[in-house]
């Protein structure tokens, strides 16, 4: 009987993330990397560049990922899980291809990846799998022996992801002036995506009507709102709303935007709002600019008290959840029975992305899924 901490057949974990600029000179090349071939209007890019320049050209995302790496290594060491942890990004150094080359040269052959997106979507899942396929193609051309790469299941409904957010929300509610607290609404936010992207998120059989992207967010929102009710004794009304829309105006994206939502709530006499960014794993630029800067300024104009609740970041419960997911997947790969942990009504997500889930606009090879051209 293998030890509970046995990660075999895996020999390394790779944290896969977005990447972000680390100084003013990085901003434009970073945005060029992000938007290559994606048809984002120039105006939008100039505007988003300003968001970064406002913060000295530094995105907080890399620092958050470094903190997460530290939390993961600490958790693994404390629990006897001997698994080296690496980090590679889609859009900025350390670039995924470089990290993967380093991993192969260090002898790793069975790599498990953790993406810093908890939900099914093209940007949060398949695009990372395409990035892995690109990286593998580069290493293959260099004559390196290719590792086998798998991806951890979506963790949106894992208690180690949900509980820190519920706790943060309770704290933010408590931070509101007492006279408006009981009637405060909760605005759960996530990244807006085009309707077509949402509708085709997740496995093919669930496509349509917002797809897995919407269902997963709504389920998490409901679980968190329920937890908050149990902890505070108050049943706060809640809605799922969106932020960080880009793309051409004639293409429909998920709505309402958080700023429009705050205005409507204010018009309807709602006295306070807590914004809870459940779509994001850490306080990166979307949270810092779109919520803490823009939406908070909007609320200020309206005279509406708002708070923004915490993302999971490097919370030890999240690190422990990642360990749990690794051990679960390793056991599955060894052919053992597992009881995957999940809150809410959807149940645990699939272990292996099925053929056709979360398609992009043009079909591209994607690794770490049932339609991977690699073993
Ligand atoms: C679903 C989703 C997530 C969550 C899942 C995940 O975490 O992966 C996410 C995360 C992030 N998005 C980020 C930054 C950007 N996203 C952009 C553009 C876009 N995002 C999209 C979707 C998502 N994005 C989409 C459909 C576009 C349109 C273009 C396209 O179809 O690709 C652009 C271009 C300019 C703009 O239009 O805003 C930027 C700069 C950063 C880094 C922040 C930092 O630096 O701290 C992070 C974590
Ligand atoms: Fe984005």
Instruction: With cut-offs at 50, 70 and 90, classify the pLDDT of residue 1.
Output: very low
Asked if residue 375 belongs to a domain, the reply is no
Q: Which of 191, 197, 213, 279 to mutate to test the pocket of ligand 1 (most atoms within 8 A of CB)?
A: 191
Q: What is the pLDDT of residue 291?
A: 98
Distance CA 174, CA 170 (A): 6
Residues 231-266 pLDDT 10s: 999 999 999 999 999 878 899 999 999 999 999 999
Q: What is the pLDDT of residues 165-201, one digit of tens each?
A: 999 999 999 999 999 999 999 999 999 999 999 999 9
In a domain, 360, yes or no: no
Domain housing 127: 12-155+314-333
Reported as a single tens digit per residue, the pLDDT across 306-357 is: 999 999 999 999 999 999 999 999 999 999 999 999 999 999 999 999 999 9
Cβ atoms of 194 and 252 closer than 8 Å: yes
pLDDT at 2 over 50: no
Asked if residue 44 lies in contact with residue 34, where contact means CB atoms within 8 angstroms, the answer is no
Ligand 1 site residues (CB inside 6 A) read: 18, 20, 31, 34-35, 38, 40, 44, 48, 59-61, 116-117, 121, 123-124, 191, 193, 244, 246-247, 279, 284-286
Whose CA is closest to atom 44 on ligand 1?
285
Q: What atom in ligand 1 is closest to the CA of residue 119?
A: 5
At residue 140, does pLDDT exceed 70?
Answer: yes
pTM: 0.96
Q: For residue 14, what are the β-bridge partners?
A: 86, 113
Q: What residues are designated binding site?
A: 59, 128, 191, 286
Domain of 325, CATH number, reads 3.40.50.1400
The answer to whether the beta carbons of residues 241 and 258 sit under 8 Å apart is yes
44 plus 147 within the same structural domain: yes
Do 123 and 198 fall into the same domain?
no
**pLDDT at residue 324, rounded to an integer:** 98
Residues 6+ apart with CB under 8 A from 89: 16, 17, 18, 19, 95, 96
Q: How many domains does the chain have?
A: 2
Our mutation pick for probing the ligand 1 site, out of 17, 50, 244, counting the most ligand atoms within 8 A of Cβ, is 244
* Residue 139 and residue 277 in one domain: no
Least confident of 46-55, 85-94, 146-155, 263-272: 46-55
Identify which of 147, 118, 141 has the alpha carbon closest to the alpha carbon of residue 17.
Answer: 118
Within this chain, do residues 163 and 299 fall inside the same structural domain, yes or no? yes
């Amino acid at each position: 009987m293998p030890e509970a901490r046995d990660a075999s057949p895996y020999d390394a974990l790779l944290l896969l993330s977005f990447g972000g600029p680390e100084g003013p000179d990085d901003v434009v090349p970073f945005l060029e990397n992000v938007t290559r071939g994606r048809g984002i209007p120039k105006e939008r890019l100039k505007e988003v560049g300003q968001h970064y320049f406002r913060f000295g050209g530094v995105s907080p995302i890399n620092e958050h990922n470094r903190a997460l790496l530290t939390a993961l290594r600490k958790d693994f060491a404390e629990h006897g899980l001997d698994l080296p942890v690496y980090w590679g990004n889609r859009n900025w150094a350390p670039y995924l291809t470089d990290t993967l080359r380093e991993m192969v040269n260090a002898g790793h052959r069975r790599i498990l990846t953790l993406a810093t997106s908890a939900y099914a979507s093209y940007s949060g899942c398949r695009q990372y799998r395409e990035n892995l396929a690109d990286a593998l193609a580069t290493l293959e051309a260099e004559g390196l022996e290719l590792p086998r790469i798998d991806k951890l299941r979506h963790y949106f409904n894992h208690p180690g992801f949900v509980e820190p957010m519920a706790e943060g929300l309770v704290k933010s509610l408590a931070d509101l002036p007492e006279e408006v607290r009981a009637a405060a609404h909760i605005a759960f936010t996530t990244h807006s995506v085009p309707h077509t992207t949402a509708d085709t998120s997740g496995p093919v059989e669930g496509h349509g009507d917002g797809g897995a992207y919407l269902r997963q967010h709504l389920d998490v929102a409901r679980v968190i709102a329920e937890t908050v009710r149990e902890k505070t004794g108050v049943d706060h009304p809640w809605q799922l709303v969106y932020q960080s829309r880009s793309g051409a105006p004639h293409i429909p994206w998920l709505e309402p935007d958080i700023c429009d939502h705050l205005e409507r709530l204010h018009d309807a006499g709602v006295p306070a709002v807590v914004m809870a960014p459940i779509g994001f794993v850490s306080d990166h630029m979307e949270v810092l600019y779109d919520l803490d800067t823009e939406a908070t300024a909007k609320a200020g104009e309206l005279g509406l008290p708002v708070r923004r609740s915490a993302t999971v970041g490097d919370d030890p419960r999240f690190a422990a959840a990642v360990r749990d997911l690794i051990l679960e997947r390793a056991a599955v790969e060894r052919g053992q029975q597992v009881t995957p942990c999940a809150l809410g009504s959807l149940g645990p997500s699939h272990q292996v992305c099925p053929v056709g889930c979360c398609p992009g606009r043009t079909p591209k090879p994607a690794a770490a899924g049932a339609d991977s051209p690699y073993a």
